[in-house]
Amino acid sequence: MGQKDMLETSIWSQGIGYLFTNLLPFRLGEVARVLVMSERSKMPVAQVAGTAIVERLLDVGTMILALLLVLPWMQVPIAIVRSGEIFSVLVLLGILVIILLARFKEASFILVDRVCAVFSFLPKTKILAGWAELIEGLTPLLHGFIAFKVIVLSILGWLFSGVVFFCAIQTFQPTGLFLEAIFMMVSLSFAVIVPSSPGFIGVFQFIGQQSLVIPFGLKYSVSSALAIALMAHLVYYIPSTLLGIIGLWRIGQSFAGLMQLATRKNTTV
């Protein structure tokens, strides 16, 4: 598959992932995205999943950086600032561990092999094969220039999202600051990591509202903060759903077809 075809497949797979996440609970769009990308690119599911993990790690890293930048400028208790810093350090340590696993492949294989030896009922051959594919998907973390480009794109993407949140805030509160939009975005990005309702409905509105009311209560009322959260959610939900519908059409797939694909992949793993 050429680079152009790979890029197109990646875009439509991402859109389909958004669609499934918007319509189904438990962030099933992540699974759909990996399956579509694997099927279209003829790559192993575990390898595609590894690449998706890299993407999520970079997103989390970007959000941690944004959190560390905005917390010192916010009027919040020092305990909250310290909690945010500790959480950031723990997540960054987790990212470091994954990078080390990808860097020292042989050591990671020995570790997995020993775990399988302890739990003899585990299918060692399949687990080792899947681990090899997963590690292969993590290799972008080891290529400096590629990692740099992906990090820059991640930062630019989230910066654009921050602008969208800022516009939503400005609609209802002209004195709103970009810092407040960034904090709202960061709060929501961490909140929706946990699998929840379809399209994060309810979770998005509540966390979005509270991320403005709790630290900036003198500026935002409960109703205005909720209105901002509702608008921000619509700006995300409608275009991402349409992108997914177009993606299904472009690749000639359907919901039923993807469900059958998921079942087939599950039985062959």
* Structure confidence at residue 103 as a pLDDT band (50, 70, 90): confident
The pair of structure tokens assigned to 69 is 């930048």
Q: Give burial (CB, 10 Å; 0-12/13-18/19+) of 247.
A: buried
pLDDT band at residue 264 using 50, 70 and 90 as cut-offs: low
What per-residue confidence (pLDDT) applies to 2?
Answer: 62
Q: What's the pLDDT at 258? A: 72
Q: Which amino acid is at 120?
A: S
Rounded Cα distance between 26 and 193, Å, is: 10
Of 15-19, 89-93, 160-164, 199-203, minimum mean pLDDT range? 89-93
Q: What share of the chain in percent tops pLDDT 90?
A: 33
What CA–CA distance (Å, rounded) separates 117 from 140?
30
Q: From the CB of residue 147, how many other CB atoms can be counted at a distance below 10 Å? A: 16
